[in-house]
Structure 1
């Protein structure tokens, strides 16, 4: 479990999105059960504050927003949610489904007793959650009345204590913030939090991994990507298999967030499948002071380059029909993770570049494999190839070492 020295929480909550309950008893239901059970177990270890004060589930907690799925999620909450845990629940595109806004809001009120937007004070800290006004597109989804409501709530919270963090929630990312916000953001909430450095904003929608260092972003305020309990999708477009990795279903991540009496915040990253924390703990010591921010673009560890160990060897298994299987030993890096591997195929005789693509390192898994195995097809039988592999960090920078191998396709 990550250590947070000299830090005594007075607030603790779990934050997640994109749970995706289905009509049948799918793995997401069990993952949610484990998430809540283990959140309470973690809280119980703290003798001074053994409480989970809030559970925040921010949109797409169902797969299609059907009555069956909503009732199943309500039943799961009824079985596990304790009276001392305040529920923050918002709806999003999957709750709207094909039925639309009015039906989704009626079901939210009837089944959960909730309004689509909420401002709650929990242990003296402000929580503000805003659902979209319609099934949103990348351009819009939040009407002017919604945005005005949020600004009013932010003013009220800031007036209460300008140094205290404000925990704000909406389902889609804000453009140009966290990892995932290239393809999974909503333009008309841009700028809404810019005058409130104390805002710690949680969003989902992308299904991007929470342990990606780009899943926390600080500029005018703090943004966090909440990941998913269902499947991964990533925000890069050069991978041989597209934006969804082959092991997409090995995805079940959420945050446990703590704050102390001095307004310091600690964000712990939890993996449900292994029932363990990732080693990172994100620190926000002065939420209202932008100069104290640690996770700005300027402070990213862009010069931290991965490298292959001297004994590392790239293995190529040649298969019939113009295919091969690459076995890439994982590279090392001083901090963070190796993001991916940039792979090039060249003509062994001329050196001409024939093909280039990338594969992820599987950093999003709590326990990364020792090697990456990738099959490649479409090769010309009888042709000699040289394959080159470079490790890259999260900022697109190659390491200084590469692995090479030469083979003849068959």
Structure 2
């Protein structure tokens, strides 16, 4: 009896061991990007991420580091990079590291290329065989955004054709910093982080599995994998996270975006199937579910093609929206909804007679994974004075599928009462550059159309010009070139076509503020660095109709008086 029991146990253990061995990947590799050595956190985040990825068993055969290795492509930054990737206590023997240069951060058309070749000792392009599977990786070769050497496409065409011939039926893995245009999250034309240069090549090979970084967009978003004619994958980034412009009201850098670091581990099996693990390396947590791809790679097994994210998100039964009013400010608090993938954002809306007059989109912070807050709060300012409103929250996933709403209690806003001593400000008829470097205000009346609209009293400069921009969806912004880039304040108020609005933007260097007012109410504010100056043309400007400029930052009371004088009726 004992012998029979031992025999059965032996058979069971043998079966378990055989199953584990049979499911061992033939190739296992990691993919990371956007290490940005030279930034303050690279020497902490990158080693931490490597420790997380290399602690998973079995240990990977290779690590692909897909561009933006450094911030500025200096010798010191490349030496920092190699102090980490040459550290055998981090990367054990038998793990091969493949480094690729990114775009202008790595200075690919300047001395940075020479530093890369000298200090890393690696080539600009790779065509490798790892355990019987083809791997193609290449650096960018220009100095501008999304720029490659002129012969990069020709080289890729030749290499892909060779891989397809030598490795029939197998996936072909390709790596470069910028992903193919209009494929995975971050590469849409509207998002600005893709390149169309290689699409004619990859479109010929449904077995191509292409990895890229560049956008810093989170890999927890299901749009980070895309299968149309081939597979395109966003690998996230280690420096910080980002989302597309216009997806949320606060801009492209949401709350806690510096508490994010992400990477991939890819398992390739002997039957050519692929399983991709997504890792939050900041918290050492796997992001589920795993992405899976099955042979044959002829397009017939593309499970992510046409994926639409359904069903819609949902709030738990009994979930409530609570609110707290303070003047024309209102704080909403609500529990997070759930989704089969992720809830991407929430539309915080205020309705008057069932018409949305104010809308703010708030990020869910799903990229924090286990640390994602269970309850969200947001204080909204600039609600229209004297109106009676109903608050509403709608959850939306990455594909903008929307939940049933949570609705709060109706409330009434007070009427605005300016200080009676306030005088109507006087506009400047002529103003040179020096008089508005420290403070200015721009006033405009805008009749909204269904098209995009831009109004400005200033001429074009190299970095743009200050002005109001109304997008086709009714959103209004005010942008001003400050320092080396535009600073933009976004208004959550929806402007309705056919109606007229009174707009004022103010800038005050000492206070470090850029503010936007609609119909006398403050609706948006951005912080500006006090050491930077607005960049305007040196010549005088001529004022279009219905635009006035002031050489100081107007007060709320002054702006209210201008609004009342404009005779614009608040139809919000």
Shift of 1:319: 3.3
Residue 394 (structure 1) aligned with residue 394 (structure 2)? no
Kindly indicate whether the alpha-carbon contact (under 8 Å) linking 1:388 and 1:405 is maintained by their aligned counterparts in 2. Answer: no
- Please say if residues 343 and 389 of structure 1, whose CA atoms lie closer than 8 Å, have aligned partners that are also in contact: yes
Matched with 1:363 is 366
Pairing partner for 1:226 from 232, 235, 239: 235
Q: Does 1:353 align with 2:356?
A: yes
Which secondary structure does the structure 1 equivalent of 2:194 belong to? Answer: coil
Cα deviation code 1:342-401 (max 9, x no counterpart) = 222223xx4443212311222222122111222211224554321111111221121234
2:141 matches 1:125: no
CA deviations over 1:197-253 (Å, ceiling 9, x no partner): 111100111111011111000111111001111111112514220122122112101
Counterparts of 2:67 and 2:410, CA distance in 1: 49
For 2:26, the equivalent position in structure 1 comes to 10
**Partner secondary structure for residue 364 of structure 1:** helix
Matched with 2:317 is 310
RMSD over aligned Cα atoms: 2.1
What CA deviation, in whole Å up to 9, does each residue of 1:89-129 have, x standing for no partner? 110124434xx514122111100111211112122221111
Residue aligned with 1:366, SS? helix
Aligned match of 2:217: 208
- Mapping of 1:129-278 within 5 angstroms? 129-137=137-145, 141-182=147-188, 183-278=192-287
Aligned pair partner of 2:346 in 341, 344, 352: 341
* Contact 1:340–1:391 (Cα < 8 Å) also in 2: yes
Cα distance change, pair 193–39 in 1 and its aligned pair in 2 (3 A): same
Structure 1's 308 and 82: CA in aligned 2 closer, same or farther, altered over 3 A? same
> In structure 1, how many angstroms separate the alpha carbons of the residues matched to 2:284 and 2:293?
25
Q: Give the secondary-structure state (helix, strand or coil) at the position aligned to 1:110.
A: helix
- Higher mean alpha-carbon deviation, 373-382 vs 356-365, is at 373-382
| Counterpart-to-counterpart distance in 2, 1:178 and 1:170 | 14
Following TM superposition, by how much is the alpha carbon of 1:166 offset from its aligned partner in structure 2, in angstroms? 1.2
Could you say what secondary structure the match of 2:392 adopts?
strand
Residue equivalent to 1:47: none
Partner of 1:46: none
Query: 2:380 matched to 1:376?
Result: yes
8 Å contact kept, 2:100–2:124 = yes
| Correspondence for 2:103 | 93
Matched residue SS, 2:316: coil
Verify the 8 A CA contact 2:125 2:138 in the aligned structure 1.
yes
SS in 2 for 1:121: strand
Aligned residue for 1:112?
120
CA distance in 1, matches of 2:400, 2:54: 39
SS at match of 1:373: strand
> What TM-score results when the alignment is normalised by the length of structure 1?
0.89
Give the direction of change, closer, same or farther, for the CA distance of 1:77–1:105 in structure 2 (3 Å limit). same
Structure 2 distance, partners of 1:352, 1:211, is 34
The answer to whether the aligner puts 1:406 opposite 2:410 as a matched pair is yes
Deviation per residue, 1:55-80 (Å, 9 max, x gap):
10011121222221111110001112
Q: Distance in 1 between matches of 2:324 and 2:104?
A: 43
Q: Give per-residue Cα distances to partners, 1:25-44, cap 9 Å, x unaligned.
A: x333222112212222212x
The answer for unaligned runs of 5 or more in structure 2 is 1-19, 415-572
Q: Deviations over 1:119-178 (max 9, x none)?
A: 12122221111222202335xx23441101011111121112121111101111211100
Say whether the 8 Å CA contact 2:320–2:406 is kept in structure 1: no
Tell me if structure 1 keeps the 8 A contact 2:350–2:359: yes
Contact 2:226 2:233 in 1 (8 A): yes
If asked which structure has higher relative contact order (CA below 8 Å, sep 6+), I would say: 1
Q: Distance in 2 between matches of 1:209 and 1:276?
A: 14
Report if the CA contact (8 A) 1:51-1:84 is conserved: no
TM-score with structure 2 length normalisation? 0.65
Does the aligned pair in 1 maintain the 2:390–2:407 contact within 8 Å? no
Residue 288 of structure 2 is aligned to residue 279 of structure 1: yes
Aligned in 2, Cα 1:238/1:213: closer, same or farther, shift over 3 Å? closer
2:73 and 2:225 map into 1 onto residues whose CA distance is: 29
Q: Which has the larger radius of gyration?
A: 2
1:42 matched to 2:56? The reply is yes
Runs of 4+ more than 6 Å apart: none
CA 1:304–1:352: 2 relative to 1, 3 Å: closer
Residues 323 and 171 (structure 1 numbering): CA distance in 2 closer, same or farther, change over 3 Å?
A: same
